[in-house]
Amino acid sequence: MVKLNLDQIWFEVDDVPLKWNLPIGTLYDMTTIGIENNDLKQRDSVWHVVVKFGSFGDVGIDGGLAKYPYDYVIPVELNEHLSKVLSMRVSAESKFSVAGGRLSSPRSRDGTPGSSGSGSIRRKSSSSGVKGNSSRNDDEINIEEVDLLADDTLISETVDSFLKSYWMNQLKEVCFIINGSSNKFLSFANLETQHFYKSATTPFSTTTEQSQYLQFNNYFKRITPTRSSEIRNIPIKIYLPLLNRVLQPSLTTLSHISPMSPSSSNNGGWSQVTLGQLLQTMIPDLFPSNLMCTVAYPVSHGVILPLGSPVVELFSLMRFFDGFLHISVKMIGKSSSGSGGISGLSLFGMG
C-alpha cells in the first residue's frame, strides 16, 4: 500500500503553488486575469487547480520527483495535533471506563460525533497499555502506529485541530493589530472560541448564512473597540503581483498621508485615509494617482475596490473569516498588445 502523507499534498495553478492559508477567493483573484472593465467574459469560467503529491523519504505517488514547496507554502504539521486528538480520545475513553459510564469529561471530547472509540484507537490504547493517564511519551510513540487513512474522523479531527490553531493565531494577530494586545481575544471562554471558530468556518448555506454572519460579527465586535478612535491599526494584507510579497501597512506610521481631511482629528486623522491614498503612499509606482487606477487596481472578494473608500470602512465591510482584509493588486494589461520583451522574468521567482 502506498503510504500517503497528508502533509505532503499541495495545490498549484499554472505551476504556482497556492498558499493553503489564504482565503480561496483571494487565491482565485490572484491567479486569474482580466476583470478590469468588469469584462467577466475574459475570465476563465473554470479555475484549473492541480493537486500535487510530494514525498519526504518515502516514494511519492508520482515517483517522488515533486517536493513540497517549503519556501512558499507553510508546512502542514499534523503530528502534534494528531497526538493532541489521540490523547484527548484516550483520556476520554479511559475516564469513561474508569468512571463507570459517568460522563466526566465532556469538554475534552469536544462534542465530536463518532469518537466512541474507533478501531485504530482501541488497538493503540491496548497495545501501549495506556489506562487512566496519557503522558506525552505514550502519545508520541503511538503516532507511528496509527493508520490515518483508516479512520476518517481521526483525519478530520486532526486537520480541524490544526486549522483551528492556525485560525486562532490569526485572530490573536488581528486582535493585537487592532488593540495593541491580544487580551480581548484571549479572554474568550473555551466554548466561545469554539463557537467563534465554527461561525467563521462552517460553510454557508442559505438557511444558516444570516445567523452565522451575525454570530461571527457579534464575536468580532467584542475584539474591536467600540469607538473608532480607539482603533490602533487595521489588519490588511496587500498582495503584490509577480513577487512573493505581502505588504502589511501600519496605518499609524502613515498618519501624515491624510491631507484631504483636516477636520477629522480622531485617531491621528487616519480613519479617513482612503484606499487610494494608502496604495499611493506604499506603492507609488503602481498607483501614481490616488483617485484613478492607471497601472494597477486593487481587488478583494472578486470586486474592484473603489480607491475613494476609507480603509476603515472597507475593513469593516470586507474582512475575511481570519479577520484580515486581503487585497490583491492586479496589473492593468492590454491582453493583445505584447507578450514579448519579458525575458528574464524568472529572476523574480518565488523567493
Partner 1 sequence: MAQSKMLTKLSTRTTQSLLQVSDTAKSNEGGKITIRFKTIGGSIPNLKQPVFKISRNSKFVSILKFLTKKLKLKENDGGKIYCYLGNSIVPNPDDELGNLFDLFKVGDELNISYCNMVAFG
CA distance 271 to 268: 8
Of the residues 34, 64, 117, 268, which one makes contact with partner 1 according to CB under 8 A:
34
Q: CB-wise, 61 or 73, nearer to partner 1?
A: 73
Can residue 173 be called a binding residue for partner 1 (CB under 8 A)? yes
Helix, strand, coil share (%) of the chain residues, nearest 5? 45, 10, 45
Strands 16-17 and 50-53: unpaired
Strands 236-239 and 296-300: unpaired
Can residue 15 be called a binding residue for partner 1 (CB under 8 A)? yes
Of the listed pieces 109-117, 126-134, 148-156, 181-189, which binds partner 1 according to CB under 8 A? 181-189
Q: Provide φ and ψ at 185, rounded to 5°.
A: -75, -40
CA distance 193 to 179: 18
Can residue 245 be called a binding residue for partner 1 (CB under 8 A)? yes
Can residue 44 be called a binding residue for partner 1 (CB under 8 A)? no
Of the residues 11, 20, 53, 72, which one makes contact with partner 1 according to CB under 8 A:
72
Residues pairing with 17 in the sheet: 12
Q: CB-wise, 129 or 341, nearer to partner 1?
A: 341
Q: What is the grid cell recorded at 145? A: 502506529
Q: CB-wise, 138 or 212, nearer to partner 1?
A: 138
The DSSP H or E segment spanning 327 is strand 325-331
Can residue 292 be called a binding residue for partner 1 (CB under 8 A)? no
Can residue 132 be called a binding residue for partner 1 (CB under 8 A)? no
Of the residues 59, 98, 141, 186, which one makes contact with partner 1 according to CB under 8 A:
186
Q: CB-wise, 120 or 138, nearer to partner 1?
A: 138
Residues 246-275 that bind partner 1 (CB under 8 A): 246-250, 253
**Smallest Cα–Cα separation from 332: which of 289, 291, 286, 288?**
286
Q: CB-wise, 97 or 169, nearer to partner 1?
A: 169
CA distance 343 to 205: 46
Q: Using an 8 Å Cβ cutoff, are 332 and 294 in contact?
A: yes
Of the residues 52, 81, 172, 319, which one makes contact with partner 1 according to CB under 8 A:
172
Of the listed pieces 8-16, 119-127, 144-152, 212-220, which binds partner 1 according to CB under 8 A? 8-16
CA distance 42 to 36: 9
181: number of Cβ within 10 Å: 12
Residues pairing with 247 in the sheet: 238
Q: Using an 8 Å Cβ cutoff, are 131 and 94 in contact?
A: yes
Can residue 295 be called a binding residue for partner 1 (CB under 8 A)? yes
Q: What is the grid cell recorded at 237? A: 494584507
Can residue 278 be called a binding residue for partner 1 (CB under 8 A)? no
Of the residues 244, 255, 261, 316, which one makes contact with partner 1 according to CB under 8 A:
244
Q: CB-wise, 77 or 209, nearer to partner 1?
A: 77
Given the rule CB under 8 A, which residues bind partner 1?
14-16, 19, 21, 30-31, 33-34, 72-75, 140, 165, 169, 172-173, 176-177, 181-182, 186, 233, 240-250, 253, 283, 285-286, 295, 331-335, 337-342, 345-346, 348-350
